[in-house]
Amino acid sequence: MFSTLQEYHQAIISAAWMIILSLIPQDLVRAGAILFGFLICVHAMRPRTLMKTLQLRLSSLEEKLQDAVDSGIMRQSDTIFTNQFTRDIGRIRYTIFELYERMLMTSGGIFQEVKAVWEGLSLKINQCIRDVDDLERDLEINRAKILKNRYHLWK
């Protein structure tokens, strides 16, 4: 039946695992799966993780803004857009400092982070990420309009 001693040991180990797994109640397996899924969701929604994403997005926006200033795009923009953009980026920076401060207060452990997620800190960070993305999109639209007008004169 078994050609080697190793196959015999493998069969014993497989049979032992089958017995052990058959003894575990299915509800316990389901509860473990739910807990594991919850932990994955909490990790994805951790304020610290989201804050890193927010800071990366803000850095990207600031690089594009600097590029727009260096290339003269912002100088050619209308004053309404420039003033609104300045107000929006100032508001976002202030919000980021507030969120960063709240995130630092939750750095005591996983339970404090779960509490912060429950209280909506992650949702506010996600909203700020969307605001940064919207502002970046507005900057790109303005850049495209100005470049189109610049090259339209060449026609």
Q: What is the pLDDT of residues 51-74, one digit of tens each?
A: 999 999 999 999 988 888 888 888
Q: Are residues 22 and 50 in the same domain?
A: no
pLDDT along the chain (155 residues), means of 10: 65 78 70 74 76 92 88 82 89 93 79 79 91 94 85 66
Q: Are residues 98 and 115 in the same domain?
A: yes
Q: Are residues 140 and 69 in the same domain?
A: yes
Q: Are residues 4 and 50 in the same domain?
A: no
Question: Domain limits at 52?
Answer: 45-152
Q: Are residues 74 and 134 in the same domain?
A: yes
Q: Are residues 62 and 105 in the same domain?
A: yes
Q: Are residues 34 and 49 in the same domain?
A: no
Q: Are residues 17 and 76 in the same domain?
A: no
Q: Tell how far CA 92 is from the center of its chain.
A: 16
Structure tokens at 83: 């003033």
Given this model, what pLDDT does residue 4 score?
A: 66
Q: Coil, helix or strand for 71?
A: coil
Q: Region of 78 please: left (phi>0), alpha (psi -120 to 50) or beta.
A: beta
Q: Are residues 37 and 55 in the same domain?
A: no
Given this model, what pLDDT does residue 92 score?
A: 93
Q: Are residues 38 and 58 in the same domain?
A: no
Given this model, what pLDDT does residue 3 score?
A: 61
Given this model, what pLDDT does residue 37 score?
A: 75
Q: pTM of the prediction? A: 0.68
Q: Are residues 36 and 51 in the same domain?
A: no
Q: What is the largest CA-CA distance in the chain?
A: 87
Q: Are residues 3 and 58 in the same domain?
A: no
**Number of domains making up the chain:** 2
Contacts of 98 (CB under 8 A, 6+ apart): none
